Amino acid sequence: MNVDIQESWKKLLHDEFEKPYFEQLVRFVKSEYRETTCYPPGNQIFSAFDHCHFETLKVVIIGQDPYHGVGQANGLCFSVNDGITHPPSLINIFKEIQSDLGTPYPKSGNLERWAKQGVLLLNATLTVRAHQAGSHQKKGWEVFTDAVIRTINAHSNDVIFLLWGGYAKQKAKLISADTHTILTSGHPSPLSANRGYWFGNKHFSKTNECLVSKGKTAIQW
């Protein structure tokens, strides 16, 4: 099956696109986009891969679902389009960056700027029905994105995985800790952050320290 995904990823994932589950997933997604309103726009479903090529990959951040509100989702986890009000989790991410690195709170919630520096912003489920959180879970996307994590684990070295919250932490079993770096904390959502599980994790400075120690360029968060 010919999937419109960035070429460096297509070379690594081509076998996945031929599997029966993926063909069923594509049929489901096409039907959903045809019959209902879904997010992100169809041409942004694989934006995480389009903006962060495999050769430039340094960091992986794992989310769960795209935002399901009008105009929010752009294919990158935790990211929203320019001009969109920042959701609570993104606000807490930016507050932690502000505290950790002493940088000003950014105006734009569009995280393409991270992706272009080598941060793969990967939701476990890449599509969602409008206003229905979790509506495209367990349809095959998680099988695919787990395969992406396994591919990164097998074909690269010294990638930093940021696993925030219980769901993301489950992905640690797919990652070789002796080859890659895994940083975990609570989720940036208010429920977790307000209980003390998010703020102060210093994941952004720790990530940059690790990158520099490996001779790589730090991320401009």
Annotation marks residue 65 as catalytic:
yes
> Which member of 4, 15, 50, 65 is catalytic?
65
Written as six digits, the tokens of 142 are: 């998680």
> Which residue type, as a one-letter code, is found at position 75?
G
122 - beta bridge partners? 62
State the Cα–Cα distance between residues 128 and 114, nearest whole angstrom.
23
State the Cα–Cα distance between residues 103 and 93, nearest whole angstrom.
12
State the Cα–Cα distance between residues 185 and 175, nearest whole angstrom.
16
- Tell how strand 181-185 and strand 160-164 pair up: parallel
Active site residues: 65
